Structure 1
Amino acid sequence: MIGVVVVEDDFRVAQVHAEFTERVPGFRVLGTARTAAQARELIDAHSPDLVLLDNYLPDCAGVALLAELDVDAIMLTAATDPATVRAAFAAGALNYLVKPFTAEQLADRLTAYARYHSRLPVTGGAVDQEEIDRAVRLLHEGDRPAAPKGQSTLTSQLVLDALRNGGGARSAAEIAEELGIARATAQRYLAALAQDGRAVMTLRYGASGRPEHQYEPIAATR
C-alpha cells in the first residue's frame, strides 16, 4: 500500500484530492495538511511514500517546502507560471498536475507512479541504465490529457493495452473482437491514439487490393 499525505490549504479541495486518491487501488491517504508546518509534522509522523503538494500555502510556498523533503512528491496546483514549474522540478517534483483536473487525470498519474515505485524501490541492489529508463517511462506513462469528448479514458486504456499485448500490428476489427466493442468504436479510439502519439497507423493490403488500417503502439512499456 502506498501511503500519501495531501498538502492543500483549502480543506474542501484537500478532501476532494484525498477522495480521488483513495479511489485508486493500492493508495491510502495518511492525512491532510493545510500548512507547511502541518505537512512537516505529518510527514515526520507517518513517513509517507508520496506527497500531493499545492504551491499556495499560507506559511511557505509549496516548492520551498518540497526542497526540504526527502519523499516523492507530485505538485497539484493552479500555478502555471514557468518559473514555478521549473522550480518544482528542480526541487524534485516527480510530476505536475494543474488544477482543475479530473479524478481520471489524477488516477492516471498515480497509477503510473505506482508502477515506477514498484520498478524502482527505495531499497535494493544496483540498477542498470535500461532499468532506469524503463522506470522513467513508467512514471510518465499517465501524462496525457483527458480522453477526447465522447470517449472514455478506461476504454482508451483497454484499447492501448490490447495493442501492446498483441505482438504486432492490429486492425480495428481485431481489437473490436477481443474487447467486445463495435468495430467503429475501436477505429475511433485507435485513431485518437494515433493522433496523440501513442500509436502509429500503417496500411495493410489484402487480396482484394483494398487497404486496411492497422496500428502499433509507440514506445510500449514492458
Structure 2
Amino acid sequence: ASMSHELRTPLNAIIGYSELLEEDALDLEYAEFIPDLNRIKTAGKLVLNLINSVLDLSKIEAGRMDLFLEKFDISLLIDELATTIYPMLQKNGNELEVVIDRSNIGFMFADLAKVRQSLLNLLSNASKFTRNGRVTLTAKRETITEQEWVLLSVADTGIGMTAAQAARVFQPYQQAEASTSRNFGGTGLGMAITKEFCEMMGGRIELETAVGQGATFTIWLPATVAKPAEVK
C-alpha cells in the first residue's frame, strides 16, 4: 500500500498538470504545445496502468485480493464498456459489434469492478491487435447441469496467435513475443490478471485462435458468484 501511494501520487500529479496545461494551451491558442502535452498525459496514464497491474498481480499472488460482490445489470455494464473502448477502437479503424439479448441477459451477482476490468483488458487487447477490422462483444446466459452461467466473449478479426503463443498468453509478462510488444505495445499483464479474476469468482477463461484468423476470448462466470468463504 505504501509503495502504491508513493508511485501513484506523483504520477497522478503529472497527469493532472498535463491536462491543466493542455487546457491552458487551448485557451491561449498555443496549439503547437498540445500534441506534446497529450503525449505526456498518455505516457503517464500508461505507466499508471502498468503500476496498477503490477500491484494487482502482487496482491493476487499474496492472497490479499478481496472480492466485493454485488448485484448489477449486465446490459448497463456492456453499454458502459462499449462507450469506454470506442476511442481505442477508432484509433485502429475498428468497428464494435455488440451481441446481447437484452430481454434475457438480466442481472448477475459478482465483483463488478473485476468483471469490468477483465472485459476492458480483453477489449483493449482486441483493439490493439486488430487493424481496420471488427471486435465483437457478446453477452449471454447458459444453464448447464442446473448451474446458471454468464458467458462474456470478445472476438476480433486481428492477427491471431500460434498454438505456442496461445499457451503462454495467460502467463504474467509473457506477451506473445518481443516484436509483438514493440509493434503493438503492452506488458502481457492484462491477460494474467483477467484469468486470476475469473478463477477468484469461480469461473474460467477460454481462448480460440489461429494465425491470421483473429482470437476469441470467452469468460465463464457463475450468474451468482459464491462468497469467498463458500468457495470450495
Normalised by the length of structure 2, the TM-score is 0.24
Point out the structure with max Rg over C-alpha. 1
Higher normalized contact order (CA 8 Å, seq sep 6+, divided by chain length): 2
